[in-house]
């Protein structure tokens, strides 16, 4: 009995798996655990017969003094564990890399699929089919290419099936979500395997291998083996994720959300023809995600840890709010901005009067540009209270007072708080509407809505404190005029010079009030439904981190604080871990 193979695990695979487990643990959902269990079950089940055949036919050998001696179908226990640990490592890395990704936006149909994706999927099918045939040929020759042939003839058919089902989505996804979780563990295992082959922990028998190495003692066949098995793992989870995406983005077809693990629904989603897809919904979701990525990195990052269907509705809500804000802010004149506010109000009137969908659609398409259609049509008003949406428009009207009146609208602290409640507390209330809708919980509702209002004000105070110089460029001063008078300043003076010690004192004063409201409303967040508690806390903490950066006086550029990516990720990880 030997421990050489066991030591490979103790030195390399187990430490890496442990590090990834610690890093991923706060991010893992019930659905993620199902992903891991699914792919491990498939991988181990598919690999045991193949590996057993290699050992029984003498392609693979293990020195007796390198393994403990326990085996299943002649496969050493350490090798069985390798099937598990490799799949676990790659699956965890895939999940970490894909947390920011909303897979539903990458669903396509033959009609909407870009030509390059069609060509790429066809090319992949031809390559995998050719490799399958080539592998069979090498096996039939029973010569030096036997081991390579066995790898290709075993792995490529599985890869061809999953690629045919999911290749369009895989090609559309970012390379960081697909290529990275394939290549990073592959290169690590190449290194581990090279050391093991060099030290004789296992070996490929002469006469069944090509005799070429990728580097050092790493046989070409072994390099191909780890590449194709990690590819199979990623393709397999991607196929699972495509079913999840279809299930979550089309609630009218699949009433149960994917995170409740409705097995029959997921199986149906996997085989649902693309002709049943609501293409407009997918395109609208894609536009919404693009808005979120461009306009709010903090919320985009936080949204990645919400359950799928709730995440989709939050994204659609944000898309509408961002669109409405942009229509007003980017208007060429105050009159045009007021026109947009009026049109948005009429849009809400129609949606909440239960007008026929065709009437609402006709109004949208006759009064708004095409770029706005999806954000308006997909606003999930079925789950949203109307009052916060109307209050948001009142907040926009306050913004317009900077250009349409001679007086400054934020005269004192009550004006500031009212404005913040209209443009930010409303968002918190709307988010809670969606949380209660998707989780089914109603406990502590009044307390949570009150806390959401206060937290919204806190977040808007941070936003105002950050953007003093930016707002001055568009002739807006949200600092109360009474504060300015105390510092011997006027709003006009701030427009001319939005920096200096008096401005910094008022910035710190505003941040102090923001953090006071944050602390007062932070504890009630622990009463949120479990499914949303962590993600909602991440959203708040990610934004409050901007306030902390401002308080430190760091990372400021042209009057606007930014939070480095590593720090934002740290906030997400620490928040979820503590929760």
Which band of pLDDT confidence, cut at 50, 70 and 90, is reported for residue 555? very low
DSSP H helical ranges for 99-219: 115-141, 146-172, 175-199
Contact 243, 99 (CB under 8 A): no
Closest C-alpha among 266, 414, 396, 271 to residue 326:
396
Closest C-alpha among 146, 117, 149 to residue 133:
149
pLDDT in tens, 332-357: 999 999 999 999 999 999 999 988 99
Rounded Cα–Cα distance for residues 350 and 357 (Å):
9
Res 66 pLDDT > 80? no
Rounded Cα–Cα distance for residues 21 and 31 (Å):
16
pLDDT in tens, 84-122: 999 999 999 999 999 989 999 999 999 999 999 999 999
Q: Is the domain of 157 the same as that of 206? A: yes
Rounded Cα–Cα distance for residues 199 and 144 (Å):
23
Q: Is the domain of 227 the same as that of 344? A: no
Q: Is the domain of 192 the same as that of 340? A: no
- Given 233, 258, 276, the domain boundary residue is 276
Average the pLDDT over each of 217-231, 295-309, 343-357 and give the range with the smallest value.
Answer: 295-309
The per-residue pLDDT for 1 is: 43
Q: Is the domain of 251 the same as that of 332? A: no
pLDDT in tens, 501-547: 999 999 999 999 999 999 999 999 999 988 888 888 888 888 888 88
Read off the pLDDT of each residue in 125-136 and give the average, rounded to a whole number: 97
| CA 527 vs CA 38, 295, 446, 578: distances in Å | 33, 29, 11, 15
The vertex-163 CA angle with 311 and 220, nearest 5°, equals 120
What distance lies between CA 536 and its chain's CA centroid?
A: 14
Rounded Cα–Cα distance for residues 524 and 158 (Å):
50
If phi > 0 it is left, if psi is from -120 to 50 it is alpha, else beta; for residue 109 that is beta
- CATH code of residue 389: 1.10.600.10
Which structural domain range is residue 64 located in? Answer: 3-276
Rounded Cα–Cα distance for residues 132 and 124 (Å):
12
For residues 480, 485, 488, 492, the Cα torsion angle rounded to the nearest 10 degrees is 60
Closest C-alpha among 174, 301, 290 to residue 563:
301
Rounded Cα–Cα distance for residues 30 and 297 (Å):
26
Q: State how many domains the chain has.
A: 2
Q: Is the domain of 254 the same as that of 316? A: no
Q: How many helices (H) and strands (E) does the chain have?
A: 25, 8
Res 572 pLDDT > 80? no
Q: Is the domain of 312 the same as that of 392? A: yes
Q: Is the domain of 197 the same as that of 287? A: no
DSSP H helical ranges for 57-105: 77-98
DSSP bridge partners of 76: 71
Which band of pLDDT confidence, cut at 50, 70 and 90, is reported for residue 304? confident
Q: Is the domain of 289 the same as that of 266? A: no
- Given 236, 254, 276, the domain boundary residue is 276
Q: Is 278 exposed, middle or buried (0-12, 13-18, 19+ CB in 10 A)?
A: middle
349 CB contacts (<8 Å, ≥6 apart)? none
Q: Is the domain of 246 the same as that of 292? A: no
The per-residue pLDDT for 69 is: 64
Q: Is the domain of 332 the same as that of 249? A: no
Rounded Cα–Cα distance for residues 254 and 256 (Å):
6
> How far apart are the two ends of the chain, measured CA to CA in Å?
46
The per-residue pLDDT for 557 is: 41
Rounded Cα–Cα distance for residues 157 and 66 (Å):
33
Q: Is the domain of 71 the same as that of 96? A: yes
Which band of pLDDT confidence, cut at 50, 70 and 90, is reported for residue 299? confident
Task: Please tell me what DSSP assigns to residue 218.
Answer: E
Three-state secondary structure call for residue 561: strand
Average the pLDDT over each of 27-31, 64-68, 144-148 and give the range with the smallest value.
Answer: 64-68
Q: Is the domain of 146 the same as that of 259? A: yes
Closest C-alpha among 421, 469, 459 to residue 543:
459
Q: Mean pLDDT over all residues of the chain? A: 90
414: phi then psi, degrees, rounded to nearest 5: -60, -35
- Given 276, 310, 331, the domain boundary residue is 276
pLDDT in tens, 450-506: 999 999 999 999 999 999 999 999 899 999 999 999 999 999 999 999 999 999 999
What distance lies between CA 546 and its chain's CA centroid?
A: 21
């Amino acid at each position: 009995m030997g421990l050489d193979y066991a030591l490979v695990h103790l030195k390399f695979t187990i430490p890496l798996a442990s590090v990834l487990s610690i890093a991923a643990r706060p991010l893992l959902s019930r659905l993620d655990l199902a992903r891991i269990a699914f792919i491990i079950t498939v991988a181990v089940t598919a690999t045991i017969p193949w590996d057993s055949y290699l050992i029984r036919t003498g392609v693979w050998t293990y020195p007796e003094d390198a393994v403990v001696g326990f085996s299943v179908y002649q496969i050493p226990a350490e090798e069985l564990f390798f099937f598990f640990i490799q799949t676990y490592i790659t699956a965890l890395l895939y999940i970490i890399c894909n947390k920011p990704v909303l897979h539903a936006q990458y669903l396509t149909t033959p009609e909407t699929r870009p030509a390059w994706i069609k060509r790429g999927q066809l090319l992949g099918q031809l390559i995998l089919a050719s490799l399958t045939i080539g592998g069979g040929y090498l096996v039939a020759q029973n010569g030096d290419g036997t081991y390579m042939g066995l790898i290709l003839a075993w792995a490529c058919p599985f890869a061809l099936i999953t690629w045919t089902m999911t290749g369009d989505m895989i090609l559309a996804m970012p390379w960081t979500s697909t290529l990275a979780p394939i290549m990073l563990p592959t290169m690590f295992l190449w290194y581990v395997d090279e050391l093991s082959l060099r030290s004789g922990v296992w070996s490929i028998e002469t006469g069944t291998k090509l005799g070429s190495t990728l580097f050092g003692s790493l046989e070409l066949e072994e390099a191909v083996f780890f590449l194709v098995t990690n590819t199979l793992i990623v393709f397999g989870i991607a196929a699972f994720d495509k079913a999840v995406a279809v299930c979550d983005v089309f609630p009218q077809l699949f009433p149960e959300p994917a995170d409740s693990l409705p097995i029959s629904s997921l199986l149906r989603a996997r085989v649902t023809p693309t002709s049943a897809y609501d293409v407009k919904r997918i395109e609208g979701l894609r536009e919404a995600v693009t808005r979120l990525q461009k306009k709010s990195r903090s919320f985009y990052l936080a949204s990645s840890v919400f359950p799928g269907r709730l995440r989709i509705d939050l994204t659609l809500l944000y898309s509408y709010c961002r669109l409405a804000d942009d229509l007003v802010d980017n208007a060429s004149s105050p009159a045009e901005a007021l026109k947009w506010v009026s049109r948005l109000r009429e849009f809400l009137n129609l949606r909440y009067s239960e007008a026929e969908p065709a009437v609402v659609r006709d109004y949208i398409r006759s009064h708004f540009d095409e770029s706005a259609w999806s954000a308006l049509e997909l606003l999930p008003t079925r789950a949203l209270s109307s009052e916060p949406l109307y209050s948001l428009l009142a907040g926009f009207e306050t913004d317009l007072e900077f250009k349409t009146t001679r007086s400054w609208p934020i005269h004192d602290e009550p004006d500031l708080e009212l404005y913040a409640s209209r443009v930010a507390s409303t968002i918190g209330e709307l988010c809670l509407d969606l949380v209660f809708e998707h989780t089914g919980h109603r406990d502590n509702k009044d307390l949570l809505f009150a806390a959401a209002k206060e937290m919204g004000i806190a977040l808007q105070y941070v936003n105002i404190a950050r953007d003093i110089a930016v707002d001055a460029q568009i002739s807006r001063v949200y600092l109360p005029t009474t504060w300015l008078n105390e510092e011997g300043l006027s709003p006009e003076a701030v427009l001319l010079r939005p920096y200096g010690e008096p401005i910094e004192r008022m910035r710190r004063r505003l941040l102090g009030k923001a953090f006071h409201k944050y602390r007062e409303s932070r504890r009630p967040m622990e009463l949120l439904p479990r499914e949303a508690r962590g993600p909602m806390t991440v959203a708040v903490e990610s934004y409050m981190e901007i306030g902390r950066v401002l308080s430190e006086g760091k990372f400021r550029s042209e009057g606007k604080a930014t939070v480095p990516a590593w720090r934002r990720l740290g906030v997400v990880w620490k928040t979820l871990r503590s929760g």
